[in-house]
Amino acid sequence: MTDAMDFLRAGAAALQRGDRAGAERRIVRALALVPGHGECWNILGVLAVSAGDPAGGEARFRRASVCAPDNPNYLRSQAECLKRQGRADRAAGLLAGAVRRGVLSPDLACDLGDLRLGARDGAAVALYRLALALAPGHARSLNNLAEVLGKAERPDVAADAFARLAVLRGTAAAWGAAGAALLAAWRQDEARVALRRAVALDPSTAEHWANLGFAGLGRHAVALAEVAFDRALRLSPGMDTARAGRGTLRMLNGRLRAGAADYEARLSLPTFQPSRSYSRPVWDGRVQPGKTLLIHADRGHGDAIQFIRYAPLLRARGMRVAFLGPEGLLDLFRASELVDDLSGLDGPPPAHDLQIPIMSLIHRMGTDLDSVPAAVPYLRAPDAAARRWADRLAGLPGLKAGLVWHGSVAFPYHRQRSPGFEAVRPLTGVPDVTAVLLQVAHGHSDPERLRPLGPVLDLGTELRDFADIAAAIQALDIVISPCTAVAHLAGALGKSVAVLLDQGAEWRWMFGRTDSPWYPTARLYRQSVFGDWSEPVDRLCRDLSAMTAT
């Protein structure tokens, strides 16, 4: 045995020196003395793989595993050779069998997790967690777990995993990844801490600065955001993410013209790519009488409602205007006589010469704070629907207040902007006010669990589209909503609207204002403490009481 071990040590030393031939001679001599020595077969497997022979390596690693069935490293090496031969299913089966037999290590569990990433049963997540149970600081499992959770749209859990990894590794890259994951989970305060660490460790990475800008933007920390976006663009002048972020910040601060120009950079980002391609040229802002401009809107309903106001201005200057957008807006826009032609997103677009995304109109029309086209109403409900809803709501006692408490869940921002019914429930108890519930879809059933405090009329199941919602709103005295399409709709109808805003509200409501240049009939009720809706709701309750007293 002593001679065999001497040959083994000599073979391992030769392998480290890069002397593959010398290593193989010594290992073969060791095996002649001890044929069942697993480490000898392992070294021969390494030699085969380094020579570009994964099949030969797999055979040798299999022999090593037979000699030492409880050694997880031999099984891992065998599985890797199978993967290199395109036999990933066989590799996964091999490692899964080892786990069932109790042959475990963090690396083996992580390897098997990697092989199960395509499975729909969550096996990869379970295996990464198994690896972390065996070794809580296992960095590769933490990293892979965070990534798979992020792709599975579990941003909070992914963010926690990346944050643990950052503490473990302590590098700028790890803190930057944690900051990005925390941003994706809309945890801006934690993201800001992580990203400050990232830029302190490595101030030369533009991506960390850009993400720090977004973390500041999400809490209206405008000075921090401005410094961060500018630094990102100095480091990487072509970074469209940072340029679009700076555009948002400038519009938030009322610098609409400069901000809208920067915000055009969003169109190069995957998130903002149109859902279909257009063969006609993008409109450059020059009015061309007689030409048809297609305005297309395939993102939020609120965007379409806010910016369709430009269509009548263009028609007045001689252009034809067509609209392509969500089906639920078509009857409303048709009744409002805003455009010459319109079509839903599922159908072919109307004939046109030029085209533009609806959010780009603010830039192409050269809008600045003193030139916002703010004449309202520019929308109106269809006559038949208006008469029907006016009759339906005519007999309600007191002040008729439409109430919405939740925005669309299609955007992660909904958790920050939506107060939920529990937070707005005090508004249902204001004397001489009847709350007309306009909430549809997500959150509609909340009053079944939390009984309103006063008289309410729930219309949520009766409102078919935005034409219906507009007709109901026209019959109300005021609408109360967070940052949702209903808030935009009420403003576009010229109806009094109280908008409940979180501390990091979108740029369109601007910074620190209680009024809106876009909607003259709007009053803004902002959080003073992030996540606390009680103070703005209390103020609104007092204002509603004052309205009923006049």
Give pLDDT tens digits for 32-47.
778 888 888 888 888 8
The rounded distance, in Å, linking the Cα atoms of 254 and 343 is: 33
Query: For residue 291, what are its two tokens?
Result: 């030409």
The rounded distance, in Å, linking the Cα atoms of 228 and 206 is: 9
- The predicted pLDDT at position 413 comes to 74
- The predicted pLDDT at position 2 comes to 56
What pTM does this model have? 0.80
pLDDT tens digit sequence for 441-455: 888 888 888 999 999
- Judge whether residue 152 has pLDDT over 70: no
Residue from 91, 89, 38 nearest 66 by CA: 38
Instruction: Report the b/e string of 496-522 with b at 16+ CB within 10 A.
Output: bbbbbbbbbbbbbbbeeeeebbbbebb
Backbone angles phi, psi at 342, to 5 degrees: -155, 155
C-beta of residue 242 within 8 angstroms of C-beta of residue 209: yes
At 513, the pLDDT band (50, 70, 90 cuts) reads very high
pLDDT tens digit sequence for 535-546: 999 999 999 999
C-beta of residue 454 within 8 angstroms of C-beta of residue 433: yes
- The predicted pLDDT at position 101 comes to 84
- The predicted pLDDT at position 522 comes to 98
- The predicted pLDDT at position 1 comes to 43
The rounded distance, in Å, linking the Cα atoms of 152 and 544 is: 43
Over residues 405-420, mean pLDDT: 83
- The predicted pLDDT at position 331 comes to 97
- Judge whether residue 5 has pLDDT over 50: yes
At 120, the pLDDT band (50, 70, 90 cuts) reads low
pLDDT tens digit sequence for 446-490: 888 899 999 999 999 999 999 999 999 999 999 999 999 999 999
pLDDT tens digit sequence for 82-105: 989 989 889 988 988 888 888 888
Neighbours of 2 (CB within 10 A): 7
Please give the residue that has the higher pLDDT: either 362 or 10. Answer: 362
Residue from 34, 112, 115 nearest 68 by CA: 34
C-beta of residue 195 within 8 angstroms of C-beta of residue 229: no
The rounded distance, in Å, linking the Cα atoms of 378 and 305 is: 10
Q: Say what the alpha-carbon torsion angle 271, 276, 280, 285 is, to the nearest 10 degrees.
A: -30
The rounded distance, in Å, linking the Cα atoms of 59 and 427 is: 73
Q: Which residues make Cβ contacts (< 8 Å) with residue 542, sequence separation at least 6? A: none
Backbone angles phi, psi at 289, to 5 degrees: -55, 135
pLDDT tens digit sequence for 155-188: 787 788 888 888 888 999 889 989 988 998 889 9
Over residues 234-260, mean pLDDT: 97
Query: Using a CB cutoff of 8 Å and minimum separation of 24, what contacts does 133-137 make?
Result: 134/104, 134/105, 134/106, 134/109, 135/106, 137/168
Average pLDDT of the chain?
91
Lowest mean pLDDT across 33-37, 67-71, 232-236, 449-453: 33-37
- Judge whether residue 12 has pLDDT over 90: no
